[in-house]
Structure 1
Amino acid sequence: MWTGDAYLEQLYRQAGEWREQHSESAAQRKEQLLHSLKDSLGEFERSSQIHSVVLEEKACEGYTRTRVELSVIPGLSFGAYILKPAGARGKLPGVIAVHGHGYGSRQICGMLADGTEDTGKPDIYNHFAVQLVRNGMLVIAPDVIGFGERRMEADVAEDPNAPSSCYRMSTQLLMLGKTLTGLRVNEMLGTLDYFSGLEQVDPGRIGIVGFSGGSLIAYVAAALDERIRSSVLIGFPNTFKDSIMAVHHCICNFMPGILMHAELPELMGLLAPRPLFLESGDRDPIFPAAGFEKAVRELKSIYERENAGDQLTCDLFPGAHEVSGRVSFDWLMRTLA
């Protein structure tokens, strides 16, 4: 075993065997797994009061776009776009739209990195926040720390075109017993606190949509907070074995010790029995179709055990690592309606 390949495979098998040894009930296991997931993230302080400032507002085709600055963790603030259907009245279903690797919330809100309108062909994000608001939902799209305007100064000084600050932030947080996923999820839960308190948002009808690394944030946030009633995970549902451990991925995808508690499908299964939609491209090179299909099979079993088989839907669409929304966005509106 000079190279370690067989040894790592052995450790993976042993982790699975260790998990299977426990004979607690399904309800007990779910409770323990939620606790383990939360512990794996590290501890973060959230402010008792959310500070918010409106920065700008613009009328767009079919909706208004408002830029706000929020602070939910002491010492940190971030921008978010709120997209509201034009002419909307009364309480609306709300959706948190979570981007992954890229230049931030502007990328999913129909803008280029400098804030000007993107009039060209949409990229892999397919302007999905705009698609959601045009489906009649009130949308908030926060800037995830480590991307775009929220990259660390040291990374930008070293390379103005640095794609992210995931490596620098992840390694430093790990030295403090914390994870970048934990920081991002806590900011997302603070965003949920703010969003659910908006006058036009129906707090009983809030969903979340994430793409790629945004799906990691989305499923963890939804697992930890049942105010998120419906979830769409795009370009991420898979198994750790077939994706995160088999393909070169950003360090921000890794959580210490998590495999000793569950594989990825069971972690996503913590959302059961709430509505869950899984979407992936059949040619996605980093979240392969075979792993997606394995995850779907396991999640179907989980949902059926909770008598909620009809609450799980999936779409393996013709495409690569990209957002489709061809079925999922209408599905989301129906589940929140």
Structure 2
Amino acid sequence: MPEQKIPTQIDLRRRTFLKTMGLAVGSGFFSRGVWAEDKADPFNAYPDSVVKYLRRIYDEGQVKFSYREDYPGGFEVWQKEAREELRRLIGLDRIVSDCGDHEPKVEMSEPGPDLGGYTRQKGLIETEPDVRIPFWLLRPEGEGPFPLAILPHGHDSIGFDTYAGAAHDEEHQKRITERRADVAVQAAQRGFVAIAPATRGLSTPGVPDLLKRHGDLDCRSQLIHCLLAGRTAIGERVWDMQRILDWEMTLNEVDSERVLMMGNSGGGMVTLYASACDPRVSVAVPSCSFTLLHSRNGYIYHCDCNLVPGMAEWGDLYDVAGPIAPRPLLVVNGREDTLHSVSDIEKAAARAEAIYRASGHPENFESKFGGGGHRFYPELMWPFVMKAISA
């Protein structure tokens, strides 16, 4: 039986967006002023009353940790306090409390055959009681210690297989090739020990959406259960990456001073937050994910499961770059990516660049655009990574 096509994040959000726009326009719901002004900009096409409401509740005057030069104590104090509050906000402190003294357990299969300079091995890590995250470990040939790459994926139910180049069939292989998505293979070929983990709620581990109560979206089901318990989905995903990092740091084959985290879409969001919360990540590359939290009229760019309650009071996504500075950070986006606004990406990048200037290392932040859509751009990412990792 051929593999059933699984709707991607782009598919699902485009369907919802177009349906909503069609109903609103057909009913005459939009006021003439906003619709006439923004009909060419779907990210800002809310009616006047909604725009006023959203601008009021997203009032920048209420933001606590958006970086400013006159922050009491200066940049380092801001960075420390912003990181501590971010950890609390995404629920990491709650997860620590929930897990108690749980010790993650790791099970590994036997290494596979030589795949042309590297081997691929399946693993399973219990990051908290009864939560088991499968992953692929790709190991380059030769003697270590090797730099480490942790590569969380986005909305793809077999995303860790995709990243590891473990194609299920010809159609899957074609998709991997077209999207240049086998980043764990690319990392191993460049001398990294590469971990391609399942991202909780986006792949097999998570809370299934029973009876389709949450839109038939497992990622949303995960989020709802997290919120009821004082957690967030992004916090659980960061926790999983940190436990994988803990384990890898115990292996002699890994150079703990050279750790890359990189992911696309939802995996890029995990990369951004994990790198901000964990200084052990030495190079971060979020792909097709770095932008503003919302457009000027309040449109939210990311899937529900990437959102954090109260985040707009803490700051914006460019402020999440602050706790990463001065470590190297490259944000990559596609100019044809229909999920994001190029102008808002550029605004976010300008603010992140200012934060890196304040850290004293503006050269460690870069923002680049590929010419296509919502995918990896290896030709932009790897030169930055290899330079940063060898510095």
| TM-score normalised by structure 2 residue count | 0.78
Does the aligned pair in 2 maintain the 1:111–1:117 contact within 8 Å? no
Distance of aligned partners of 1:238 and 1:2 in 2 relative to their CA distance in 1, 3 Å threshold:
closer
Structure 1 counterpart of 2:51: 5
Distance 1:2 1:335 in 2: 46
Partners of 1:244 and 1:82 lie apart in 2 by: 43
Q: Is 1:52 paired with 2:52?
A: no
Q: 1:65 and 2:111 equivalent?
A: no
Letter in 1 for 2:53: Y
Corresponding residue for 2:275? 222
Distance change (3 Å), C-alpha of 1:265 and 1:14:
closer
Alignment-derived partner of residue 349 in structure 2: 296
1:89 aligns with 2:143: yes
CA separation of 1:320/1:92 partners in 2, compared to 1, >3 Å: closer, same or farther?
same
The code of the aligned residue for 1:52 comes to: V
Give the SS at the match of 2:322: helix
Compared CA separation, residues 316 and 79, structure 1 to 2 (3 A): same
**Residue 267 and residue 158 in structure 1: after superposition, are their counterparts in 2 closer, same or farther (change >3 A)?**
closer
**Secondary structure at 1:173's aligned position in 2?**
helix
Distance 1:125 1:310, change over 3 A: same
For 2:242, what is the secondary structure of its paired residue?
helix
Comparing 23-32 with 275-284, which one deviates more in the overlay?
Answer: 23-32
Question: Equivalent of 2:380, from 327, 330, 337?
Answer: 327
Describe the superposition over 1:217-252 as per-residue Cα deviations: whole angstroms up to 9, x where unpaired. 111111111111111111011111239952564211
CA deviation vs aligned residue, 1:4-42 (integer Å, no higher than 9, x gap):
331111221244566679842322222221122111112
Could you tell me which of 282, 288, 292 is aligned with 1:235? 288
Q: State the Cα distance separating 1:296 from its structure 2 match.
A: 1.5
1:145-184 correspondence to structure 2 within 5 Å: 145-155=200-210, 164-184=217-237
Larger-gyration structure (1/2): 2
State how far apart, in whole Å, the 1-side matches of 2:367 and 2:294 are. 20
Name which of 158, 161, 175 aligns with 1:106.
Answer: 161
Partner in structure 2 of residue 39 of structure 1 = 88
Q: What is the one-letter code of the residue matched to 1:50? A: P
Q: Deviation of residue 205 (structure 1)? A: 1.0
Q: Which amino acid aligns with 2:375?
A: E
Q: CA deviation at 1:74?
A: 1.6
Residue aligning to 1:209: 262
- The equivalent of 1:129 in structure 2 is 184
Q: Residue type of the partner of 2:107?
A: V
Structure 1: distance between partners of 2:255 and 2:297: 36
Taking the aligned partners of 1:147 and 1:12, their CA distance within structure 2 comes to 28
How far the C-alpha of 1:142 sits from its partner, in A, is 0.9
| Alignment-mate amino acid for residue 142 of structure 2 | A
Matched residue, 1:260: 313
Bigger shift: residues 312-321 or 53-62 = 53-62
Q: Which structure features the higher share of strand residues?
A: 1
Aligned letter for 2:50?
A: G
What stretches of structure 2 of length at least 5 have no aligned partner? 1-46
Structure 2: distance between partners of 1:76 and 1:244: 39
Task: Report the Cα distance in structure 1 between the residues aligned to 2:241 and 2:296, rounded to whole angstroms.
Answer: 24
Would the aligned equivalents of 2:180 and 2:378 in 1 still touch at CA under 8 Å?
Answer: no
Deviations 1:269-310 (A, max 9, x none): 220001111111111121221111112211111111111011
CA contact (8 A) 2:102 2:129 kept: no
Output the aligned Cα RMSD.
Answer: 2.6
The CA distance in 2 between the partners of 1:10 and 1:244, in whole Å, is 10
Matched residue type, 1:291: D
The Cα shift of 1:264 comes to 1.1
Aligned to 1:199: 252
Report the counterpart of residue 251 of structure 1 in structure 2: 304
1:66 Cα deviation after fit: 0.6
Indicate conservation of the 8 Å contact 2:132/2:205, yes or no: no
Output the CA distance in 1 between the equivalents of 2:48 and 2:260.
Answer: 48
Instruction: Summarize the Cα distance change of 1:219–1:154 in structure 2 as closer, same or farther, 3 Å threshold.
Output: closer
The answer on whether the counterparts of 1:110 and 1:117 sit within 8 Å (CA) in structure 2 is no
